Amino acid sequence: MSEPDTTIGTAPAETVEGFSVRRALSALGRGDLASVRVLLGIAVIWTIFQIANDRFLSAVNLSNLTLQIAAIATISIGVVLVLLLGEIDLSVGAVSGLAAGAMAVLSVQQGWPPALAIVAALGVGAAIGLFNGFIVTQFGVPSFVVTLAGLLAWQGALLWVLGDTGSVNLPPSIITDLTSTFFDPAIGWALGIGGVVIFAGVEIHARRRRQAAGLGVSAIAGTALKLGLVAAAVIAAVAILNADRGVPLAGLIVVALLVLFTFITERTRYGRHIFAVGGNVEAARRAGINVTRIKLSVFTMASMLAAAGGILAASRLLAVNQQSGSGDVLLLAIAGPVIAGTSLFGGRGYIWSALLGAVVIGSISNGMDLLALDSDVKFMITGAVLLGAVTIDAVTRRRREQSG
Amino acid sequence: MDQSQSTAQPSGTDSGSQPLLALKGFTKSFGPVAALTDVDFDVSRGEVVALVGDNGAGKSTLIKAVSGAQPPDSGDATWDGRPARLRTPHDATSLGIATVYQDLALAENLDVVANLFLGQEEIAGTIPGVTVLDETAMEKKAVELLSSLGVTTLRSVRTEVAMLSGGQRQAVAIARSLLGDPELVMLDEPTAALGIVQTAQILKLIKRLRDRGLGVIVISHNLANVFEVADRIVVLRLGRLAATFEAEDTSRERIVASITGADEQERATEDTQL
């Protein structure tokens, strides 16, 4: 349809010199643009709450926010994986509760070593995910239905596991340490700066390799902007967290998971195939990709990450009860990545949207708690933000496709 | 009925040597429907053969038979003069036959490089359990491949396929089929959904494939395109080989007559347009 196929040459027309914001932005890779939009959104939200209550941006509150969103962000990583595949997992909330319940019962009532109970909880998640994937791939049942059934069934299983008391308190152990351990400021700085240096090294190495191969590289301004933003964010985060209790172990776990799964999705053949299945199953199949294997493994990882999120939530609450993993856990875990630009329709998204979305939702929730607003208002505002973010995303995508 | 086949040329006249692929007596039925009946067909290196015919004439069935997707009920194939087995897509691929279907099978969410190498990615190395992609090598090869094909309209090989025009997508799909170094490329309606400029570009690309010494089979409904690109035109009608023409020595009217069967009755005076 688009007639003006203006010839500019196959080879890297992205080799642009000079600086402009537009070029710098366009030089950022997949998902980067969406994340810049979300970061701006977070800046707006934080500004509003800071004006409304000057304790919002205090070190104590931001440190609390970090711990509050750790569980949801972890669950959301799994949701992103499933969404990339073009599927959905509605059971992540219930699975997080059931896995935490299993862990609590095993460690407290059955006397298992806490570490072993954690492994067992992750195993429960893996088994459920494998089951979901099996039903989806072998019987062609839509994942929406399989996991909707799971949402009910695993909640029932949690009630059964918890038994008559309906609640298990967690005494201090490595389980509770997960969210109550804070690193010494010096270690915090070492982790933060080390991370930035590694990130910069990877980026610069990739740039060099492209240049050596005679490929165009994005404007140096783009790389510099990206590195600068990441370094500033990490340094600010470490400084703020150190001003309170230090960098929390839970935060480090979440970041490590984000980095690991970003690597898997963006840099490995397996990750490429996840995107391919989510974009065009038939094309993936004809390219020789084992679609069944991809789906099975992604559902398994998603449920394991849900279990990991459930463990973090239980660790923070110091208990598992009948409400664990129910309520808005599921919706927030799915809404977060979608707010941050991961498509519900498969093939488009990025792992960090799990964190960014959790920050948006967590900030709104935390800010409104500070303002002592009721949950009625909280739910409505969170809903409005979700709708607004997804609408903006849909509009920009449509405009982009028209211009393409 | 066989009178029209008198126009058929002996095989492989262009190269003088034996054909790259020769089919003999290909027959395929779907239940009571005879989709192909006793079809002989061949294509040589450096030759573009157009496969034309009305809907249901058996063009796609023939392509699918050659690609191994739907093996024929009977018939023999030879590759470079040697008997060849074409029972599965893998048989065809390993012989060196690549097929670009009409739906292209591209993942719109991935960029050009990712689509070109989908399922045959370049690997930088493996850490236990994971295989790391070599994006630099893939991008370099992609740029080289596309420019060697004269595909010059892509702004960047890192563009998402969703943003490409129909012609660019077709070019990507064709380039993708070349990555396995095939000797024969089959294209199903490569210009069906394209505008004038894009059609011209794809036809140019097909000529480049021929100039590289590949055998090319093109299915097309558009006779103007067929005449522009084909060396030989094979007409199928109702699952049978109706006629074979050298593109230089024939006319649009004779092709149409052959497609419609008008040449079998006493030469119809006027041919209907397709």
The per-residue pLDDT for range B122-168, each reduced to its tens digit, is 999 888 878 999 999 999 999 999 988 888 788 889 999 998 988 89
Q: A2-11, A258-267, B74-83: which has the minimum mean pLDDT? A: A2-11
Residue B95's φ and ψ, nearest 5 degrees, are: -70, -30
Cα-based distances in Å from B63 to B23, B70, B188: 11, 9, 8
Q: A36-45, A116-125, A275-284, A310-319: which has the minimum mean pLDDT? A: A36-45
Tell whether the model's pLDDT for residue B52 goes beyond 80.
yes
How many structural domains are present in chain B? 2
Q: Of residues A62 and A392, which shows the higher confidence score?
A: A62
pLDDT band at residue A391, thresholds of 50, 70 and 90?
Answer: confident
Tell whether the model's pLDDT for residue A328 goes beyond 60.
yes
Rounded Cα gap, residues B132 and B129, in angstroms? 10
Residues of A in contact with B133 (CB under 8 A): 267-269, 272
Domain boundary residue, one of B163, B181, B199: B181
Provide the CATH topology of domain A30-181+248-403.
ABC transporter involved in vitamin B12 uptake, BtuC (1.10.3470)
Kindly tell me the sign of the dihedral angle through the C-alpha atoms of A115, A116, A119, A125.
Answer: negative
- Domain assignment of residue B134, given as a range: 107-181
CB-based contact B4:B257 (threshold 8 Å):
no
Do B85 and B200 share a domain, yes or no?
A: yes
Q: Is residue B15 part of a domain?
A: yes
| Residue B198's CATH number | 3.40.50.300
pLDDT band at residue A10, thresholds of 50, 70 and 90?
Answer: very low
Tell whether the model's pLDDT for residue A177 goes beyond 60.
yes
Q: What is the pLDDT of residues A181-222, one digit of tens each?
A: 999 999 999 999 999 999 999 999 988 988 898 887 777 888
pLDDT band at residue B4, thresholds of 50, 70 and 90?
Answer: very low
Q: How many degrees, rounded to 5, is the angle at CA A357 between CA A355 and CA A362?
A: 90
CA neighbor of B21 nearest in space, from B69, B89, B70, B86 = B86
Do B135 and B65 share a domain, yes or no?
A: no
| pLDDT in the model for residue A216 | 79
pLDDT band at residue A21, thresholds of 50, 70 and 90?
Answer: low
Q: Is residue B151 part of a domain?
A: yes
Q: Mark which residues 179-198 of B lie under 8 Å from A by CB.
A: 195, 197-198
Give the residue from chain B lying closest to A2, CA to CA. B165
User: β-strand B123-127 against B130-133: which pairing, if any?
Assistant: antiparallel
Do B193 and B274 share a domain, yes or no?
A: yes
| pLDDT in the model for residue A345 | 87
Q: Is residue B102 part of a domain?
A: no
| pLDDT in the model for residue A226 | 86
Q: A123 and chain B: CB distance < 8 Å anywhere?
A: no
Do B64 and B158 share a domain, yes or no?
A: no
| pLDDT in the model for residue A292 | 96
Q: Of residues A219 and B270, which shows the higher confidence score?
A: A219
B141 half-sphere exposure, CB direction, 13 A CA radius: 19
Identity of the residue in A7, A264, A276 whose CB atom sits nearest the CB atom of B118? A276
Q: Classify burial at B97, counting beta carbons within 10 Å of its beta carbon; exposed 0-12, middle 13-18, buried 19 or more.
A: buried
Do B174 and B258 share a domain, yes or no?
A: no
Do B69 and B198 share a domain, yes or no?
A: yes
Ramachandran sector of residue A264 (left: φ over 0; alpha: ψ -120 to 50; beta: rest) = alpha
Residues of B in contact with A279 (CB under 8 A): 107-110
ipTM of the complex: 0.85
Q: A22-26, A146-150, A275-279, B138-142: which has the minimum mean pLDDT? A: A22-26
Q: Is residue B101 part of a domain?
A: no
Kindly tell me the sign of the dihedral angle through the C-alpha atoms of B210, B212, B214, B216.
Answer: negative
Domain boundary residue, one of B125, B158, B181: B181
B158·A14 Cβ contact <8 A = yes
Domain boundary residue, one of B119, B150, B181: B181
DSSP reduced 3-state for A117: helix
Do B228 and B172 share a domain, yes or no?
A: no
Q: What is the pLDDT of residues A226-248, one digit of tens each?
A: 899 899 999 999 999 999 999 99
Do B190 and B265 share a domain, yes or no?
A: yes
Q: What is the pLDDT of residues B175-201, one digit of tens each?
A: 999 988 899 999 999 988 788 888 998
Do B84 and B194 share a domain, yes or no?
A: yes
Q: B106 and chain A: CB distance < 8 Å anywhere?
A: yes
| pLDDT in the model for residue A22 | 53
Do B90 and B201 share a domain, yes or no?
A: yes
pLDDT band at residue B6, thresholds of 50, 70 and 90?
Answer: very low
| pLDDT in the model for residue A4 | 38
B118·A401 Cβ contact <8 A = no
* Chosen from B90, B100, B109 to mutate, greatest number of chain A CBs within 10 A: B109
Identity of the residue in B115, B120, B133 whose CB atom sits nearest the CB atom of A267? B133
pLDDT band at residue B261, thresholds of 50, 70 and 90?
Answer: confident
Report the pLDDT averaged over residues A293-319: 97
Tell whether the model's pLDDT for residue A401 goes beyond 80.
no
Do B5 and B56 share a domain, yes or no?
A: yes
Q: B136 and chain A: CB distance < 8 Å anywhere?
A: yes
Q: B123 and chain A: CB distance < 8 Å anywhere?
A: yes
B163·A404 Cβ contact <8 A = yes
Do B270 and B187 share a domain, yes or no?
A: yes
The secondary structure of residue A319, as a DSSP letter, is: E
Residues of B in contact with A400 (CB under 8 A): 163
Report the pLDDT averaged over residues A16-31: 47
Q: A402 and chain B: CB distance < 8 Å anywhere?
A: no
Q: B109 and chain A: CB distance < 8 Å anywhere?
A: yes
Q: A274 and chain B: CB distance < 8 Å anywhere?
A: no
Task: Write down the domain spans for chain A.
Answer: 30-181+248-403
Report the pLDDT averaged over residues B40-45: 94
